Structure 1
């Protein structure tokens, strides 16, 4: 089996298991890296000992984080279990690494406004949604027009992390600029339709069941890419959503420009959203639903960031001075 056939089989098995395209992309990348590390030997000729040596190489020589090491292990376990049908034997070192507990990076309300003040245009609108609605950057990029409900003040997140849907809030202050942005997007998509393009990707087999749905306004991306691309399978010019790297780069530059000492990224807005809601007295179960966490223990991590502390403890130095 050639390497191209192997990767094709990896994608086929991942599609059967309904893995997200991003997960498939990451798994393929790790499998390619593993094959190159082994001297271009076929994975079927290797086994658990080589996997353990590869994980050791990542930890000792590449000094990767525990989450990165676990990602590589998950990809190789999928390769041997579901693709090659040769499950890895149990060996010491072939198990998930223990991940250290890190507190999320949270900005103060003032710092958030400083960063937002250094943004403009589409990146500003997307950053406002990530902070005001708790969206992940990928969820924000993949937002469709039909999932923004101005009347109810809601945003419906479809197939978020873990393929789970949820409903979160639409900030009132964002409604007016978002309506203006959508008016520009509708004009852009109208011009592309007139040129024979403007098709968008729709989930599952909807483009075969209802071919016209790919051009309906409701299914358009809220944040479309600046250029169309040619889709070979359907022989159409399609519009993809904005690439996350565009807003990630803009937010990182705004963080530096604002003078905020903390490292600022797109996910920082989501952390700040959760923490500021809890600071305002919102119920932790409500915050859990808005964030889409499966377990409330994940949401409880933000209570540690509140530390004044989480139990209202006051420093003995401050008490003595008072």
Structure 2
């Protein structure tokens, strides 16, 4: 087994997300290429040790001038290589560190949020996709969800009755409950009804249609779940994608973004349970790609005439800031955002806080007044003449 195969295996054994796997393997490959270029020949990472890591990280900061977060990711990847794959503890080293600027996240005012959400909902594009983008943007702000958490939301994780969604395998492989704003419930109900109709139509087309990428552990327990409505993506693509059945299952337990399963024995067992052949293609309805929503929000910011560097993540920043402005304590906001450390949440506002309340009793800032419908509802309310 080659070194990079060992790295892949160690990452999957540790149930790292697919994105982390891609990032770590990319940095390890760049590290090895860098030292091969410097030495003019292959140099084993064992021989490079702390000095090799220090030289590489210094080169990133001094020559390539990468951001502090980028350099930290490279460091984490190399620590993983040495400690988890090569079983070699790294000693102390003094690499030149990239400076992390003391910047607060960009935040939109409530009026600016309203303008962006309205612009997303009125985009001159395919009506079906525009409708989905409108609801997704409302969840970015109204629930404080991350971009991938919204795009990879599954039907089973939405509760209209309880007014919440479950975020599975969020950042740090954690689950959490997030708000489903009252203003989103009707639109979400319509989206789920559309998703049900589309899935029923897919199933009627035959056994090669209606599949969805699944974690292998779930397939092993309940094979039929691979074609069930519960596991389908809420924000599914209008088009199906022909996919080799070998790419249908995900490694590990990551329901939202795991790596494709590559172990032959495990794959064969999964196929047998589903009655599929390994040479077969199936038609998969994947979720809308993150890039499409990013472009929709960027275009909406421009159409709204907002001169800020705003993105999908800016809506999440605005959610946190507006909750704090509304008087919710920092611990509650931390829980809703899914932050591991309260220090991360403190970037939004430095407040003393008590225990968090989670979803219970929290009114989404979306329900407090961002968006066209909320403005209409406030305008329709009778004004008091009492002074």
Q: Does the 8 A contact of 1:103 with 1:304 survive in 2?
A: no
Q: Tell me which of 231, 241, 245 is aligned to 2:245.
A: 231
Aligned equivalents of 2:88, 2:8: Cα separation in 1: 17
Structure 2: gaps of 5 or more residues: 122-129, 247-266, 272-277, 352-387
- Structure 1 residue 129: Cα displacement: 0.6
Q: How does 1:1-322 map to 2 (within 5 A)?
A: 5-39=2-36, 41=42, 42-93=44-95, 99-120=100-121, 121=130, 122-193=132-203, 194-195=205-206, 196-225=208-237, 226-228=239-241, 229-232=243-246, 233=267, 234=271, 235=278, 237=282, 238-303=284-349
Deviation sequence 1:175-229 (CA, Å, 0-9, x none): 1222222222223222332232222223351102210011111111111233322
- The count of corresponding residues between Structure 1 and Structure 2 is 301
Deviation sequence 1:10-55 (CA, Å, 0-9, x none): 1110111121111111101111222222236343443222221211
Aligned equivalents of 1:227, 1:44: Cα separation in 2: 46
- Structure 1 residue 147: Cα displacement: 0.9
Aligned equivalents of 1:62, 1:98: Cα separation in 2: 13
| More off after superposition, 62-71 vs 181-190 | 181-190
The corresponding residue for 2:260 is none
TM-score w.r.t. the length of structure 1 is 0.86
| 1:162 alignment partner, SS class | coil
Q: Does the 8 A contact of 1:134 with 1:270 survive in 2?
A: yes
Structure 1: gaps of 5 or more residues: 306-322
Aligned equivalents of 1:187, 1:6: Cα separation in 2: 47
| 2:104 alignment partner, SS class | coil
TM-aligned CA distance change 1:250 to 1:43, over 3 Å: farther
- Structure 1 residue 97: Cα displacement: 5.5
- Structure 1 residue 301: Cα displacement: 1.9
| More off after superposition, 157-166 vs 63-72 | 157-166
| More off after superposition, 160-169 vs 231-240 | 231-240
Deviation sequence 1:274-301 (CA, Å, 0-9, x none): 1111112223222222111223332222
Deviation sequence 1:226-246 (CA, Å, 0-9, x none): 332223254452333332222
| More off after superposition, 236-245 vs 277-286 | 236-245
Q: Does the 8 A contact of 1:13 with 1:83 survive in 2?
A: yes
Q: Does the 8 A contact of 2:67 with 2:98 survive in 1?
A: no
Q: Does the 8 A contact of 1:155 with 1:169 survive in 2?
A: yes
Aligned-residue Cα RMSD (Å) equals 2.1
TM-aligned CA distance change 1:190 to 1:44, over 3 Å: farther
Aligned equivalents of 2:22, 2:186: Cα separation in 1: 37
| 1:224 alignment partner, SS class | coil
Aligned equivalents of 2:9, 2:165: Cα separation in 1: 33
TM-aligned CA distance change 1:224 to 1:60, over 3 Å: same
- Structure 1 residue 118: Cα displacement: 2.1
Aligned equivalents of 1:109, 1:276: Cα separation in 2: 8
Aligned equivalents of 1:35, 1:149: Cα separation in 2: 48
